[in-house]
Structure formats: structure tokens, C-alpha cells
Structure 1
């Protein structure tokens, strides 16, 4: 259960109309009876004239990739190196308008990171060289590389250690700033926690949905344009040309920072159009563009479950994998014959101990993993493994180019029935939500007060 209503409550501003008027061009008139310019009445409180007259020219096609943020310079190289890292991480090679859009988004991210580091330092929060080294090493470990290998990889793709370290520093500094300046002032009362626990008890058996979202704001005059752009996003995600993660960074929802992840939510916490769409989706499906108040959304259903009910896909499996690789250039007929032999031999497996002997006989590589959660596996394998008995092997799968594999089930720990979280867990979740909300408010204030010079 995730109490994430606040995650949807905060929307970032989609676009800002900025009119740089310079010095005043209005001269006083002696005609006191002249009517003042008409004013629009809207909820923005900006009091914008309905008959806007622009003084000066703003060319939306001019791209400005560098900036000075409160005296800190963001160079074109900084932008290019971060773009290279994003392209490599998502296996992309962008050109034209798509590349320009990514550069502008990266520039906005770099500005935010700079503001976060500056605010942290202003509150005596700094990141030591040892912490930076530790953070870099953790990233290398996640990519199964040594720090030296990660350094070489960054150079190879056109990025740099400096670019990655900038992101690491901002994350550490901002997290520590929030711990010092925000978290101590967030309070959650017992009555509020108890009310949520009561609701959880009442909701046992209802469905929860793990959703991810891309949200784009749209005024009535831009609605069709935004809809069409998001339709193109949908087509590229569905075709596999670009992943959902790539487009999530353009989302204008507050969840952009976590890849659009709404976590586990109940339908009654979502706007009605999103709830209706999610209810009709299958796991792994995307839907959209869905019209919502103020814009459009694309939804991706990661998973769904019933509150209080154990999900078999949460079972922890102990697996032994046998892999048979093929030499490059092996004739197809010969490869097919080896696959047939592999399939025949694995049928004789009776237990994981027996699997090792079979692997030696056919020259297969053996790898063990005792910490695989069933839901982490591809859907087809989930279904097969959850129906298997300990000691049985899956049918062979893979390809002659990538190798043919089988998984032998060595053990299975079924998940316990879900229980209502402890009051402390609920309190921590609410506090974290409020810290995140306050963090967004602080960042908006920093953007508003910053002196940013674009070049």
C-alpha cells in the first residue's frame, strides 16, 4: 500500500509566457477619459490584458543551450555530456527536433541541480570528496563495472566523470538539505495515522494498481497539439523505438523525478478518467492520451494486486540456470541439432543436483541464484515456474545467437499473507510524502528567485 495521493496533487507549470518589456514604453496621456486596457479575469491572478501587444520579438526556434545560474556557469559541454549519458542509458540516438527537446530538458535539469547544490551550501550542507567517491563507486557497482571501467565507458560515449558527479552531488546535497531543513518540521498526528489504518482494514480485498504516468498540461488552444504529440509518444513506446523511461523525463507531473512512478494506488485516489482507463488495462499495457483536468496523460500499468492477499508472484525462487552457447557462425542445422539434444537431456533432470551432471555432459554453463522474486521474470516464465514442482526444469528458451537456457527450480518460499502496515510505517510514508511536497515547493521558489542568464 502506498499513500501517494500527494504525488499527483502537485503539477509543475507546463509553460510560462514571459514578456520582456525592458523599460516602460507607455507615455502618460492628458485624456483622463480614455478607457484602461481590458483585463482578463482568471484564476492565475496575473491580471493579463486581453488585447496583448508584444514589444520586442521572441523567436521560439532559437535554442539557448547554456546558462549562468546565480553566477554558476552551465556550459554547452555540460549539456552535451549529460545528453550522451541519457542516450547511452536508454540506447537512443536522437536527431533534429527530438535532440533539441532533450537538450532543453537536460538544461532545465542541470539548472535545478545547480539550484539544489547552491541552496544546500547556503545552509551549510556540503558533500565531501569521500562521499563523492563512494557515490561514484555505487553507480559503477549498479552497472556491474569497476570505477575505472565506468570512467572509460563515460569517455567512450562522450560523457564524463564530471557530468555524472554533478548529478551525484546534487542528489546527496539535496537529500541532506531536506533532512536538515524540512524533515524536522514535518509532523503527523496519531489521529491521522489511525484514520488511514482504519481505511486500510476496510479496503482489504480491493485492488491496487502500480502505475507510471506521463502528464502534459494543455490549455484549450493547445489541447489538440499536445494530444497529437502524446499520440506520437505512444506510438514510439509501443513500437519499442523509445522506452517509457525516456518520455517520462518530459512529464510535467511531480513524479517526473522518479520516472513517472505513482507507486501502488487505489482507483479512488485517481482522477476519474485515469481510474477508468487503469481498470481496463492489462499488466504491461500502456494507454493514452487520456484527457484529464488541465491536460493529458499516458499510463503504464506495471502491476496490480489485491490488498491483504498474498500474490504468488512474490514467491522467492531458488533457481539453477543451464546455458548452452553456440560458436559464432555455426550453421543453422547444426545449431538446431544441438538445441534438440539440449531439450532431450534436460527432460531427464530430477533435482538440482542432477542438473549439474547433465550440464557437464552437454557442456552447458551453470549459474545459481537463490534470491529471484517470480515477478521479476518475464511473464511467460513466471507462469511456467509457478506451476512447477521443485526439481523440475523449464522447457528450453533463448536463441542460437544468444544461447539456449533452462531454469531448474531448486526451491521456493511462498510469500506470507499481506498484513496491515504498522502505525510507524504509515507515519513514515505520510512524512515522506510531505517532505517531497515541500521539496517541490522549495525548488519552485528557488527557480522563481534565481538570476539566470541564458547565452
Structure 2
């Protein structure tokens, strides 16, 4: 059970620290913009260093807290105003507590299992170089830009060390155990096809995890402050990377295209009232608070494309009952030998008088009525019963199905997305358990 003890006047200390930061901090900009800044580093705050929090006997100093706040200002683009600083302080403190809990847990596992988990200095330098490259600058210029904003390079290294090491541990411990089955992938593909006829939304999202920030009231308050900062011009991707608990945070909150019904009902209700270019107000959901930016919207597709193959025996319209029965027997031999779209032609080649071929991709509405019924009702990969037309007797199989104007869902992309969602859920639960069992004092 978490043992949290508030020591001293937290609000007064917090506002003293916030005031010192507000006096010395330059306007918040993203790191890419900061790289071009030539201003000298702000003068050190006159605030003496003291204890801001204790996490299982690890001390977080007011200097650490102030540094993390500066890093949040620079990297999120949130303006350091009297209104925004309390939330920046809260987020900085929560992230530092999480960082200490993660490193403590990783050190425990290293001791118990005699393995190396925590990122080395060499690995951190590679991460820094990659981060600088993403911001179109060199590592030296990147760190100089941070220093010009009063952010120590060690503050960024500390954050990166915890993030890289924790992600490695979660992926290493649980990634090899997770199995995304064919049934999950097929179900996702079928949902995509089924949802293609519904309205679709291209969104960016921020999820504020209520259990992480101290409850729904704190999450709603934080969400309202973020909305205010975003309306003032803070870049959504930068805010999402720093504040969001959703799996999309690493992509700047980009959740891509989603269909009506995929999101929580509360979020869907908000989207239904929004126009492209609009930002939602904070939306309370089961796990916390959502912010959604609607980038684009499109109507659902009305048509369905199917890719089909057939095996057939040629029969005229006046064929006798005996000829029809003989053709049926041949096609039943094919049905018993073929198990999917892939082996239909090979199975048909072994039965004299049966010809197989690819029918290509076509709109369901454009198919002959006998084939249309099969295309609409058959699961992908399942062979139909023999179908009679004026040209002969046919077996058909649906090899693929998608909505018109919608690209067929890529299996690898679906698998990666499901894998990432499950790992993110595991990590959040792991962190929740660590917080619940920790002794955390904030002062």
C-alpha cells in the first residue's frame, strides 16, 4: 500500500519554486526551435536546494524538480505562466517519482537475476545523437540549446536512461510471452472492413492517466490546463510526448484513422460534434481524461471489393440431370482437397474436367447474383457450395475483402499495433503496482 506523507507547506514551497522558474525561464519552445537560440543561459535561481520528495529513501531535490520542469517547458512548448506552472510542477514531480521507481525496480531485478538492464553511458550517447537528429541538429548543438534554456544535460540523460531501460525490460520480460494470434489479426481485419462503411476520423490524442496523477479531479484539472496551452499554440505532438499515457504518445499522439464505434462512447460523442481542426475539451473516461484533436473526417465507403477465385465445370443451360450430377461430384472432390484460396487451383488441376482461375477483384454489387450472395456471406478462405449458372457449375472462394477506397489492412501493421497496445497496458499496470507498494513522501 502506498504510504504518502505530505511534509511541510507543499503549496507554498511549490509556488516559491514555480515563481523562481517563471522569473528565469525563457518562453517555452520545442527543442528544434531552441536549437537556434543564441541567448545566454539564465542566471541560477536564488532558491536554495532542499528535499522535494522521498521515494523509498531516494531523495528528489528541489533542484531536480526545477530541472525537470525546465525540460518539460522546452520539450512540450507549454508557456511558463502562473497558470501553467502548477501543472508543470505536478507532471515533473510525478515523472521523477516514476523514474526513481523504475530504476529501483530495475536494480532489484539486476541483483536478483544477475542480468544487466540499465542503459550504459554509451547507449545513452547513441540515444542523444538520435534525438538530436530528429530535431535536425547535432548532439553538441542540441545540448547547447538545452543549456541555453537552463536545462542540464544530465537531466535529459536521467530521463532517457529510465525510459530506455524500462522499455527494454518490459519488452524483454513480456514481449517474448505475448502472442498475437491469427484469430486476433483476422478479427481486427474484419472490424476494419466492417467499420469502413461508417464515418472515419483522423485524430491525435492525449490520455491523462488518473491513477498516475492522483485521481480524476487532478486529471480533469490537468486536461483543462493542457487545452488552454494547446489553444495558445503549444504543439500537440510535443505535448502528447510529454503528458500522454496512451500508446500513441511516442508518435506525438497520432492515432491515425479510426472508425465510428472504435473509441470509448464518451470520446465518440465528442467527435460527433466536432469539425476538422477542432480540439476537444477534457473528456472523462474510465482510466482518466482524453483530449482529442480532430485532424480530418470522411464519410464511410458504401461499397465492398472482393477478390475471388473459382473452380468450374462447363455446362450448358440445357445440360441433363446426369451431367449436372457428374459435375457436382467432381467439384465435391475439389472441395474435399482444397482448404483455402491458396490451394484451390492445385486441387482443381487433379480433377479432370475442372478448370480453376482467379476472378480478380470486383465490387460485390457488380457480381452476378449467384456469386454476389456467396461474396457477401462467405468467410475469407472458405469454399462455397456448388453454384449453378447458365455457363456451368462453380465453386468460389473469397480470397480477400475490403471496403472501396480503403486499402486492405496490412497484417504486420495490425500485429505490431496490437502488440504495442498490450505492452503499454502491461507497463501501466506494472507502474501502478510499484506506486501502490512504494513509500512516497512529498514535501
TM-score of the superposed pair, with normalisation by structure 1: 0.54
> Structure 2 regions of 5+ residues with no counterpart?
15-50, 303-403
Is 1:277 equivalent to 2:227 in the alignment? no
Change (3 A) 1:226 1:151: closer
What's the secondary structure of 1:96's corresponding residue? coil
Partner SS state of residue 294, structure 2? strand
Q: Distance in 2 between matches of 1:436 and 1:224?
A: 24
Q: 1:78 pairs with 64, 72, 79, which one?
A: 64
Is the aligned partner of 1:301 residue 2:294? Answer: yes
Aligned residue among 87, 90, 94 for 1:108: 94
C-alpha distance in structure 1 between counterparts of 2:77 and 2:193, whole Å: 44
CA RMSD of superposed structures (Å): 3.9
Q: Does 2:125 match 1:139? A: no
Structure having the larger proportion of residues in helix: 2
1:316 aligns with none
Partner of 1:61: 11
Pick closer, same or farther for the CA change 1:62–1:17 going to 2, 3 Å: farther
| Separation of aligned partners in 2, 1:69 and 1:226 | 22
Q: Write the distance in 2 (CA, Å) between the matches of 1:272 and 1:185.
A: 32
* Structure 2 match to 1:451: 439
SS, match of residue 180 in structure 2: coil
Q: CA offsets, 1:129-167, max 9 Å, x none? A: 221111111112222222222222222110011011112
Distance 1:112 1:17, change over 3 A: closer
Greater CA drift, 116-125 or 251-260: 251-260
Partner of 1:89: 75
Structure 1, unaligned runs of 5 or more: 1-15, 21-55, 310-415
Distance 1:148 1:229 in 2: 34
Q: Does 1:182 pair with 2:174?
A: yes
SS at match of 1:66: strand
Note the alpha carbon deviations across 1:85-143, whole angstroms, 9 max, x for none. 22223445424353233112101111112222332332431212221111111112222
Determine whether 1:168 maps to 2:160. yes
Q: Which stretch of the first structure deviates more once superposed, 202-211 or 138-147? A: 202-211
Superposed CA offset, 1:383-438 (max 9, x none):
xxxxxxxxxxxxxxxxxxxxxxxxxxxxxxxxx96532343432332222111111
Distance 1:58 1:295, change over 3 A: farther
Instruction: Tell me, yes or no, if the aligned pair for 2:4 and 2:439 is still in contact at 8 Å.
Output: no
Residue 129 in structure 1 maps to residue 121 in structure 2: yes
Q: CA deviation at 1:448?
A: 1.6
CA, structure 1 residues 95+192, in 2 after alignment: closer, same or farther (shift >3 Å)?
closer
* Correspondence for 1:430: 418
Distance in 2 (alpha carbons) for counterparts of 1:449 and 1:303: 43
Q: Name the SS for the 2:418 alignment partner.
A: helix
Indicate conservation of the 8 Å contact 2:4/2:442, yes or no.
Answer: no
Larger Rg: 2
Aligned equivalent of 1:264: 257
Given that 2:248 and 2:255 are in contact with CA atoms closer than 8 Å, whether structure 1 keeps it comes out as no
Cα offset, 1:192, TM superposition: 2.4
The 1:443/1:100 distance shift into structure 2, 3 A limit, reads same
Q: How does 1:315-334 map to 2 (within 5 A)?
A: none
